[in-house]
Amino acid sequence: MQTSEIVLVGGSGKTGGRIIRRLEARGLTVRAASRSSARPFDWEDRSTWRGALQGASSAYVAFQPDLAVAWAAEAIEALAKVAVECGLEHIVLLSGRGEESAQRSEAALTASGIDTTILRASWFCQNFSEGAFVEQIIGGRLQLPAGEIGEPFIDTDDIADAAVAALTDPRHRNQTYELTGPRALTFRQAVGEIAAAAGRPIEYQQVSTADFTGGLAAAGLPHGLIDLLEELFGQVLDGRNSNVMGGVTEILGRPATDFSEYARQTAATGIWSA
């Protein structure tokens, strides 16, 4: 059982807060490392890395903005070097499925010699309730350039449980887990389940990539984020990740959370009310 300090690089994101709460509930010493933390960590300011990592024995790493960006692999390689110099023994990396750049980051991390656990996750269910899509869902219409390709959306609570298992059980070191939900849904089907759970009409409309990115730009989203979303919708959502994988069961010994259960629990919070 892990008893030394655990640092979460990206501890303020969708998965980080969930992981921190779980680790603290176990009585473990854990701290977040982000731009706003007491010991700040900034991916674009490498002078912050050593101070954020010092004193920890293991880390959970969620790269920002996404491992799909061109400079991610080199940054992960550099981070691993600093981690080894700081005495860390183990890094759990949140990765993506079907992204060649993510796989380069994974390879860079494992090549460093540090013990690693790779968590390759599908698209998050929580993108509909905590991320880029929530405002459109509340407004009653989600417009995306995604057609009838299925995606086995993963609940971030399952990712958090998997990360905690990886951080606290040495049996998961030097393993790779493909984390997906138990069934694949198209975005249209996912929105239909959200509408049913929320008890109100919510429409899904497929739009062109140009209309999608133009809408994001009009809404004031940064160009870097727009480019990233365009790449993800254009390349990753082509069917390569439609297969359901058993990583959640492998690491947790239980089935992954179904999207309908996520929708039911989330609707009960009122987040999707008009």
| DSSP result, the chain | ---S-EEEETTTSTTHHHHHHHHHHTT--EEEESTTSSS--BTTBGGGHHHHHTT-SEEEE--SS-TTSTTHHHHHHHHHHHHHHTT--EEEEEEESS-HHHHHHHHHHHHTTSEEEEEEE--BGGGGTTSTTHHHHHHTEEEES--S--B--B-HHHHHHHHHHHHH-GGGTTEEEEE--SS-B-HHHHHHHHHHHHTS--EEEE--HHHHHHHHHHTT--HHHHHHHHHIIIIITTTTT-S---HHHHHHSSPPPPHHHHHHHHHTTTTT--
Task: List pLDDT tens digits, range 67-108.
Answer: 888 899 999 999 999 999 999 999 999 999 988 889 999 999
Task: List pLDDT tens digits, range 111-149.
Answer: 999 999 999 999 999 999 998 789 999 999 999 999 999
Task: List pLDDT tens digits, range 188-243.
Answer: 999 999 999 999 999 999 999 899 888 888 878 788 778 888 877 877 788 899 99
* More reliable by pLDDT, 271 or 4: 271
Which CATH architecture best describes the domain 6-121+156-180+243-256? 3-Layer(aba) Sandwich (3.40)
* pLDDT of 2 above 50: no
pLDDT value at residue 173: 98
Look over the chain and give the mean of its residue pLDDT values, rounded to a whole number.
93
